[in-house]
Structure 1
Amino acid sequence: MTSDTGCCPAGSLPELIANHKDQGEVIDLPGSDMKLYVVGSGDKVVLHFYDIFGFTGGRTRFICDQLAKQGYKVVILDLYRGKTCAGLPMTPESLIPFVKQFTPEKFVEDTKATIEFLKSEGAAKIGATGTCWGAWAIFHCCAAGLAIDCGVNYHPSVKLEETFGGDLVELVKKVKVPQLMLPAGNDPDNVKPGGEVIKILEGNGVNVEVKEYPRQVHGYMARADMSDPESVKDVEDATFTAYAFLAKYLK
């Protein structure tokens, strides 16, 4: 467990070493130095935005491989270019400089290029899923008006907007596509049912769904101990809640 890092709240889960046989392949995004992990096929695409442990961290690829079995092409964008916070002390002094390497301007540009490539390959509908840092990335990409039809946000670290010196309220006001919020018990109140972020999204006319997992702590989707029956139950519930949400908006 960690103290508050400026990205993740106090009590968040630490790194989980990946233990999964990948079902997809890593390709180069044409015209870019960024790599993509691609699994599945079809014209309904889900972009996945990982947490601060990066392209191969925790259950990230397992989550995407399982999602692909629902009939989607799933794409992980390596926005960090191979970098990860793995091995760094889980403190603000270490993690804030790490995340500040990856500015919204750059990752929105990378995501736009990825979407253009996928559209050229036949993508008709595009959704997004994200864990922790990745949820903040989704909010920025949606706020920028990229062609994303909906977002699924597991234990969202949207408070990073303030870490970067931005205004979270103003960011959320720009999000105009459906969002699913799946916070853990120790996530900020503003992303839980009735919280400020939820109210702003509703005020935007956005269809927003929220389900809190009070028994879980921040990081549960990608890093919970799956030998714990309660974690298994909640991760499975969050997974199927996300599947239902994506099916609704990517049909």
Structure 2
Amino acid sequence: MASNPIGRCCAVGVKHEGTTTGEEKTIGGVKCYVAYPEDKKTENALIIFTDIMGYGFNNVRLIADQYAANGYFTVIPDLFNGNEVDLNQPFDIQKYIAEKMPRVPTVDPITTATIKGLREEYAVKRLGGVGYCFGGKYVIRFLKQGGLDVGYTAHPSFVDKEEVEGMVGPLSIAAAETDQIFPAEKRRETEDILQKLEAPYQMNLFSDVSHGFAVRCDLSKPREKFAKEQAFLQAVAWFDEYLKA
């Protein structure tokens, strides 16, 4: 594998304060959170593939609003259909993985339907993918002809090396210094694969942060806040360069 399976660190973090500005819609038959850019144009769009907190998590909806504020029509599909992690309930990561976590046979059709819906219902011309933790796998899986045009992922999990080898589009990765899911040896393995591909790639490593920092860091800690903001700006710069027509 190019990254390890998820662990307890995938469900640890801080809820961020803020009022979201998007809305809920159905796209391709899939429940989605949708955030429009100021000009309401949809030709350049992003799909956010979330961590196991799901599409209703306030942190990721605030991030979607930020992408929209930077000019991208942004959509978060519900990949979990009620099987996301509820932080208000007792949580056993191994039991969750075994009994509730969605797998490829469930997530792939949701992703395909969302992509089809965006291209047909919203006239999307260029489509990027943003993947956090669990969602990183699906950005890489769909970074191919007929799927996503450009990809970005922060601290990915469950990625198979064959999925990285099958990519055809540009990929940017934001990695954490402390990350048992995407540790140094997995970063090197991923880099070795990317070097053999023709597509552009980028991998930035952020010190003083751990797995999940791009979504769930403690914003009261300056270094964590800085890393989260820089990882977001990394994504925006990547899409500005490779996604916009």
Same fold per superposition (TM over 0.5): yes
Cα distance in 2 for residues equivalent to 1:106 and 1:92: 19
Find out whether 1:38 has 2:34 as its counterpart. Answer: yes
Deviation, structure 1 residue 124: 0.9
Would you say the 8 A contact 1:15–1:53 is kept in 2? no
User: Which of 11, 19, 22 is 1:21 aligned to?
Assistant: 19
**In the alignment, which residue of structure 2 is the partner of 1:215?**
208
TM-score normalised by L of structure 1: 0.84
| Whole-angstrom distance in 2 between the partners of 1:81 and 1:94 | 14
Residue 174 of structure 2: aligned partner: 182
Structure 2: distance between partners of 1:249 and 1:216 = 27
Distance in 2, matches of 1:88 and 1:203, equals: 44
Q: Secondary structure at the match of 2:177?
A: coil
State the aligned residue count.
231
- 246 and 96 in structure 1: CA distance in 2 versus 1, 3 angstrom threshold: farther
What is the letter of the counterpart of residue 123 of structure 2?
Answer: G
1:7 and 2:3 aligned: no
Task: Render the CA deviation track for 1:122-146: whole Å, top value 9, x for unaligned.
Answer: 1111001111001012122225x44
Asked if the contact 1:112–1:146 (Cα under 8 Å) also holds between the matched residues in 2, the reply is no
- After superposition, the Cα gap between the structure-2 partners of 1:18 and 1:28, relative to the gap in structure 1 and judged at 3 Å, is farther
Change (3 A) 1:11 1:117: closer
- Code of the aligned partner of 2:25: I
CA contact (8 A) 1:39 1:68 kept: yes
Aligned to 2:96: 94
**Residues 49 and 132, structure 2, Cα contact 8 Å, conserved in 1:** yes
Deviation at 1:69, TM superposition (A): 0.6
Cα deviation, residue 198, structure 1: 1.8
Give unmatched runs, 5+ long, in structure 2: none
Measured at CA, do residues 110 and 230 of structure 1 come closer, stay the same or move farther in structure 2, by a change above 3 Å?
Answer: same
Q: CA deviation at 1:13?
A: 6.0
Task: In structure 2, give the amino acid aligned to 1:227.
Answer: S
In 2: Cα distance, 1:15 partner to 1:83 partner = 19
Q: 1:24 to 1:12 in 2, by over 3 A?
A: closer
Higher relative contact order (CA 8 A, sep 6+): 2
What secondary structure sits across from 1:183 in the alignment?
strand
Q: TM-score, normalised by structure 2?
A: 0.86
- Flag as ranges the 4+ runs of structure 1 deviating above 6 A: none
Specify the code of the residue in structure 2 equivalent to 1:19. Answer: E
CA distance in 2, matches of 1:226, 1:18: 8
Structure 1 counterpart of 2:163: 171
1:45 corresponds to which letter in structure 2? A
Q: How does 1:52-91 map to 2 (within 5 A)?
A: 52-86=52-86, 87-91=89-93
Q: Does 1:127 align with 2:128?
A: yes
- Does the 8 A contact of 1:127 with 1:250 survive in 2? yes
Please report how far the alpha carbon of residue 236 of structure 1 lies from its aligned counterpart in structure 2 after TM superposition: 1.2
Question: Normalized per residue, which structure has more strand?
Answer: 2
**Equivalent residue, structure 2, for 1:142:** 143
- Partners of 1:210 and 1:175 in 2: how far apart? 15
**1:90 Cα deviation (Å)?**
4.6
Equivalent in the alignment of 2:228 = 235
Q: Once the 2 structures are TM-superposed, how far is the Cα of residue 57 of structure 1 from its aligned partner? A: 2.0
Quickly say closer, same or farther: Cα 1:208–1:90, change in 2 above 3 A: farther
Aligned counterparts of 1:147 and 1:12: Cα–Cα separation in 2: 26
